[in-house]
Amino acid sequence: MIPREKELKLIAMYLYICELYDKELKFYCQRYSNNSNPVFTDQEIMTIYLFTGYCQKCFLIRDVHTFAKEYLLSWFPLLPSYQTFNYRLNLLSEAFTVLSRSLLESFRPNDCDPLISLVDSMPIITCEGRNRQGRVAREIVSKGYSSTKNKYYYGMKLHALASKRKSTIPFPESIILTPASECDLTAFKQNWDNISNKYVFGDKIYSDFDYFNQSKTESQNVEMITPVKAIKGKCESLNFRDKAADELFSAAVSKIRQPIESFFNWLNDKTNIQRAHKVRSTSGLLIHTMGKIAIAFIYLIF
């Protein structure tokens, strides 16, 4: 048994998932077999995963299944074995991706600044170490280096373009996943090239004067603002002359973009999304990332 308050949240969560499933999610997990309508439904699997992550902070699939078996069996009497539950959950990776996107679009706070966006990335680590070889989900992972953690790792990067909010963490406009080796600037160019009417604050990796040139500023009204990046070959006397102004400007930019780092810390604190060491397949890694993003933003609803 679970407390009455959590029972009400479980019911509300199940109804929300069912409504969204009938409207959109079912098209991303359709089956073309004799078992196209299983007695234990996809809606039930998604609800159990989201509820146990949200209310109990169970993030390993075995812990999710164990909790459901011990405390939710009266609600889900047809709960399958752990092996079947894990297999069925991995089939829903695309549905969780669409669910996460729907949560971001449907529950956007009213206090999001339409003119100022923050951009950054965080690592999703499947294994770490300079000489380690990643053996999981090789189609979507690669070797990268995290300057903030000062270590090499195999995995992905989670990139977020987020709207600034006053006195709180920013809210994502868009979240994308790339292999760890892909440059943050390249990911920005490929996915957010068409944004307009914004000031975007990023770190030094986003400094590209050729890309963010005057013509782009005039045509799309987009300006990328980053801390001052040292220019190779610049005269030492000019560096000394500009040092104080550059440091003040860089400190101001860093202060504005700092909340997106707080957003990543909040996301990791709620879901432990950075640690993907237990993942054993591509679908499992997508469930680990998109499922945990969905869990985090379930907090906005319930």
Any domain includes 82: yes
pLDDT for the residue numbered 233: 59
| Burial group, residue 8, by CB count within 10 angstroms (0-12, 13-18, 19+) | exposed
Q: How far apart are CA 187 and CA 219, in angstroms?
A: 21
269 and 141 in a single domain? The answer is yes
**Beta strands 151-163 and 142-146, pairing class:** antiparallel
121 and 70 in a single domain? The answer is no
144 and 223 in a single domain? The answer is yes
Q: How many domains does the chain have?
A: 2
How confident is the chain (302 residues) per 10-residue block, as mean pLDDT?
89 95 90 77 96 92 96 95 95 94 90 95 88 79 86 93 94 94 93 92 88 77 86 62 79 93 94 91 93 89 71
183 and 86 in a single domain? The answer is no
What's the first-to-final CA gap in the chain, in angstroms? 20
pLDDT for the residue numbered 231: 64
Compute CA distances 15 → 10, 11, 24, 154, whole Å. 9, 6, 14, 38
267 and 154 in a single domain? The answer is yes
User: Among 159, 160, 180, which Cα is nearest to 170's?
Assistant: 160
Q: How many CB atoms lie within 10 A of CB 106?
A: 11
Q: How far apart are CA 218 and CA 172, in angstroms?
A: 25
Any domain includes 289: no
pLDDT for the residue numbered 184: 93
Any domain includes 297: no
pLDDT for the residue numbered 180: 93
121 and 63 in a single domain? The answer is no
Any domain includes 128: yes
126 and 189 in a single domain? The answer is yes
Q: How far apart are CA 161 and CA 121, in angstroms?
A: 9
79 and 136 in a single domain? The answer is no
HEC string of the chain equals CCCHHHHHHHHHHHHHHHHHHHHCHHHHCCCCCCCCCCCCCHHHHHHHHHHHHHHHCCCCHHHHHHHHHHHCCCCCCCCCCHHHHHHHHHCCHHHHHHHHHHHHHHCCCCCCCCCEEEEEEEEEEEEECCCCCCCCCCCCCEEEEECCCCEEEEEEEEEEEEECCCCCCCEEEEEEEEECCCCHHHHHHHHCCCCCCEEEECCHHHCCCCCCCHHHHHHHCEEEECCCCCCCCCCHHHHHHHHHHHHHHHHHHHHHHHHHHHHHHHHHHHHCCCECCCCCCHHHHHHHHHHHHHHHHHCCCC
81 and 176 in a single domain? The answer is no
Whole-structure pTM value:
0.90
| Burial group, residue 186, by CB count within 10 angstroms (0-12, 13-18, 19+) | exposed
57 and 146 in a single domain? The answer is no
Residue 162, sorted as left (phi over 0), alpha (psi -120 to 50) or beta, turns out to be beta
Domain that holds residue 67: 4-91
45 and 160 in a single domain? The answer is no
73 and 129 in a single domain? The answer is no
Any domain includes 54: yes
